[in-house]
């Protein structure tokens, strides 16, 4: 007997959930992906930001979605870091998701306010380390919120350089850059 033809997927609009606020890396990747994906699948594609709880709110929404037209544009935090920081996630990063593709890599950069750099003679990373070691606890490191991968990278930097700088968390990485 002939098998019925499989229905074409997607049959309607796709929703790309970015589990972080507008302006962050996941949002930017989703917004770059959406028009190209829309062109290729001939269906509308829209980005839906669902920020909160370090990406857990958006991830939980996608994990609990009963349709097959909701996709997550997440990052390392939602699936690798958050499970280590909380034993009560509203989703299982392994069982509730099937990986599709690595969309982007996002390098981390170390920048400093130019006025502070000039005032302290900081032109290199070595200069920054020298100043931080000479003034423990005086310099601030602006990062995403507690547990964000930028926060963990800053803590690793402090540990590797044996410096004491204060973590100054922001609600978003975009806000930390201001």
Assigned token pair, 89:
């996630």
Residue 168's SS3 state is: strand
Mean pLDDT of the chain: 90
Residue 9, phi then psi, degrees to nearest 5: -120, 140
Q: What average pLDDT does this structure show over 97-103?
A: 90
Domains defined for the chain, CATH in brackets:
14-85 (3.40.190.150), 114-176 (3.40.190.10)
Assigned token pair, 23:
């302006």
Q: Above 70 in pLDDT, residue 65?
A: yes
Residue 177's SS3 state is: coil
Q: Are 60 and 30 in contact (CB under 8 A)?
A: no
Q: What average pLDDT does this structure show over 45-63?
A: 93
pLDDT at 9: 84
d(CA 174, CA 149): 13
Could you identify the residue written with the tokens 């990485």? 173
Confidence of residue 106 (pLDDT cuts 50, 70, 90): confident
Confidence of residue 67 (pLDDT cuts 50, 70, 90): confident
Confidence of residue 54 (pLDDT cuts 50, 70, 90): confident
Residue 141's SS3 state is: strand
Nearest CA to 165 out of 130, 123, 135, 144 is that of: 135
- Residue 130, burial from CB neighbour count under 10 angstroms (0-12, 13-18, 19+): middle
**Mind listing the pLDDT tens digit for each residue in 134-160?**
999 999 999 888 888 889 999 999 999
Q: Above 60 in pLDDT, residue 1?
A: no
pTM: 0.79
Q: Above 60 in pLDDT, residue 5?
A: no
């Amino acid at each position: 007997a002939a098998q019925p033809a499989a229905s074409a997927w997607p049959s309607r609009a796709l929703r790309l959930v970015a589990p972080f606020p507008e302006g962050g890396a996941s949002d930017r990747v989703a917004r770059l992906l959406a028009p190209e994906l829309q062109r290729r699948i001939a269906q509308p594609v829209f980005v839906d930001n669902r920020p909160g709880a370090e990406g857990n709110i958006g991830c939980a929404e996608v994990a609990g979605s009963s349709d097959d037209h909701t996709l997550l544009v997440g990052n390392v935090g939602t699936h690798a870091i958050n499970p280590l920081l909380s034993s009560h996630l509203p989703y299982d990063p392994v069982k509730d998701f099937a990986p599709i593709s690595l969309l982007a890599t996002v390098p981390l950069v170390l920048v400093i306010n130019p006025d502070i750099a000039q005032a302290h003679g900081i032109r290199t990373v070595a200069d920054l380390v020298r100043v931080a070691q000479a003034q423990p606890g005086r310099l601030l490191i602006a990062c995403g919120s507690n547990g964000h991968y930028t926060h963990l990278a800053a803590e690793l930097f402090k540990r590797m350089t044996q410096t004491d700088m204060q973590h100054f968390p922001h609600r978003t990485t975009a806000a930390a850059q201001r």
